[in-house]
Amino acid sequence: MLDYETLKLIWWALIVLLMLGFALTGGWDLGVATLLPWMGRTDDERRVVINTIGPTWEGNQTWLITFGAALFAAWPLVYAAAFSVLYVALIFTLFALFLRPVGFDYRSKLPDPRWRGAWDWGLFVGGMFPALVFGVAIGNLFLGLPFRYDDTLRVSYHGGFLGLFSGFTVLTGVLAVAMLALHGAAFLYLRSDARVAERARRAIVIAGGITAALFTLLGVWVQSLQGFGIASIADVNGVVTPLQKEVVRGAGLWLANYRALPQLWFVPVAGMLLPLLAGFAAWLRWRWAALAATSGSVIAIIVTAGIALFPFVLPSSIDPVSSLTAWDAVSSQKTLTLMLAVVAIFVPLIALYTSWVYRVMRGTVTVEQIQRETHTSY
C-alpha cells in the first residue's frame, strides 16, 4: 500500500487529469456550441456544426460528471465546500447544462424555424455559460473565497453571488471561454468542410490571439495578487484536518512554486505560445497540427494554474487557516487507495473505447450529408 503522502500527491494529479479529460473532450462541445451562432448561417450549416459533435458530446460530458463524483470520493471537503460556497453560480450553470441534452436531441425533431432557433440559443448558452462560470470559479481560487470551518468542520460562507465577479475573475472567465472556443474551432475545422470549415479556420486565428493575450495579461496580474503559502503544517503523511496548519499571505506567493523549480516555467510559456501556434497552423491549413496545438494550449493553461495554486485547492480569503489543500481535504488512506485502483483500471478502458467511437464516427460532416440524412441527423 502506498504511503498516505504519496497517495495525496497522486490524487492531486488525478483530479487535474480528470479536469483535463473534460476540458479536452467536453471542451470541444462547449467551444463548438459557443461558436454556433457565427459558424452556421443557414439551418443546414448549423446542423453541420451540431452534428460534428452530436454523436460524441454525451460521453465527453461524462468527464465532468466523473470529475464531480471523484471530488466527492477523493476530496470530500472540497466537494462539500466548493459546491455550497458557489451555490448560486452552480445552480445557474446547472440550468445552462440542462439545455444541452435536450437541445441536441430535440432540436431537429421538429422543422419549425422558431423551434430550432430557440434551441440554437439554448445550445449557445449551454456551451458558453458553463465555460464562463468554470473560468470565474478558477479565478476566484487565486483570490480566495470567503468561507470558514467551525470546530465540527462545518463549512459556512460569508459572501454573495455578485462577490464572485471582479476584474481578475471576469478575465479568467473570458479566458476560459476563449480557450474552449479555440479548442472547439480546431475540432470543427477538422470535421467540417467548405464554408463552415473556412469560418472555423478564421475562428482559430482570432481565438488563439485572444487566448494568448489574456493568458499573458493574467500571468502578469497574478504577481501582484495576495497569494497564499503554508508556513507550517502537521505531518502530511498522517491524518491532517483543515485548521491544523499556519497560512501566510503575500504578493507573488502564487509564483513560489515556479521560483522553487524554474523548469516549471516551461508550462506557462507553452500556454502563451501554443494558442498562437494553433493560429499559425490554421493559417497554413494544417488541420491536425492546429488541433494538436489547441489541445496543448488547454493542457498548459490548466496545469499552469494548478502548479501556481499547489498545494492549495480552495483558499479561504477570510480565514486563511480554513483553506483546503491537497494535504488536508482528502479522504482516508483506504478510500484513496481503492479509488486509485478503480481509476487505474477504468480511465485507460474509457480512453480505449472512446477512441474507437471517434474512429467509427471519423470523417467530415457536410451539408449534402445532412440533407441526405435529414431524418436521422441531429
Partner 1 sequence: MLPALEVVELSRLQFGLTAMFHFLFVPLTLGLSWILVICESVYVMTGREVYKDMTRFWGKLFGINFAMGVTTGMTLEFQFGTNWAYYSHYVGDIFGVPLAIEGLMAFFLESTFVGLFFFGWNRLSKVQHLGVTFLVALGSNLSALWILIANGWMQNPVGAEFNYQTMRMELVSIAEVIFNPVAQAKFVHTLAAGYVAASMFVLGVSAWYLLKARDTGFALRSFAVAAGFGLASVCSVIVLGDESGYTTGEVQKVKLAAIEAEWETHPAPAAITAFGLPNQAEERTDYAVRIPYVLGLIATRSVDQPVIGIKALRREHEARIRSGMLAYEALVALRAGNPSEDMQRQFERHKADLGFGLLLKKYTPNVVDATPAQIKSAANDTIPRVAPLFWSFRVMVGLGILFLFIFATSFWFLARKNLAPQRWLLKLAVVAIPLPWVAIMAGWFVAEYGRQPWTISGVLPTFLSASAVDAGQVWFSLIGLMTMYVLLFAIEMYLMLKYIRLGPSSLHTGRYFRETGPETHSALVAQTSAS
Which of 74, 214 has the CB closer to partner 1?
Answer: 74
Inter-CA distances, 58 with 24, 135, 300, Å: 14, 22, 25
Binding residues among 307-366 for partner 1 as defined by CB under 8 A: 331-332, 334-335, 338-339, 342-343, 346-347, 350, 353-354, 357, 360-361
Contact 64, 100 (CB under 8 A): no
Please report how close the Cβ of residue 240 comes to partner 1 at its closest, in angstroms: 9
Would you call 37 exposed, middle or buried from its count of C-beta atoms within 10 A (0-12, 13-18, 19+)? middle
How large is the C-alpha radius of gyration of the chain?
21
Under rule CB under 8 A, residue 56 binds partner 1: yes
Contact 168, 219 (CB under 8 A): no
* C-alpha cell, 343: 481509476
Taking the C-alpha atoms of residue 35 and residue 247, their distance in angstroms, rounded to an integer, is: 42
Among 2, 239, 261, 269, binds partner 1 (CB under 8 A): 239
Under rule CB under 8 A, residue 137 binds partner 1: no
Please report how close the Cβ of residue 99 comes to partner 1 at its closest, in angstroms: 9
Under rule CB under 8 A, residue 194 binds partner 1: no
Number of residues located near partner 1, criterion CB under 8 A: 69
Among 9, 17, 38, 66, binds partner 1 (CB under 8 A): 66
Under rule CB under 8 A, residue 112 binds partner 1: no
Q: Crossing angle of helices 27-39/43-53, nearest 10°?
A: 170
β strands within the chain, DSSP E: 147-149, 155-157, 226-233, 245-251, 312-314, 324-325
Cβ neighbours, 10 Å, residue 75: 24
Under rule CB under 8 A, residue 151 binds partner 1: yes
Under rule CB under 8 A, residue 163 binds partner 1: no
Please report how close the Cβ of residue 376 comes to partner 1 at its closest, in angstroms: 7
Residues at the interface with partner 1 (CB under 8 A):
54-59, 61-62, 65-66, 68-74, 76-77, 79-84, 87-88, 90-91, 94-95, 97-98, 100-102, 104-106, 109-110, 150-157, 239, 241, 331-332, 334-335, 338-339, 342-343, 346-347, 350, 353-354, 357, 360-361, 375-376
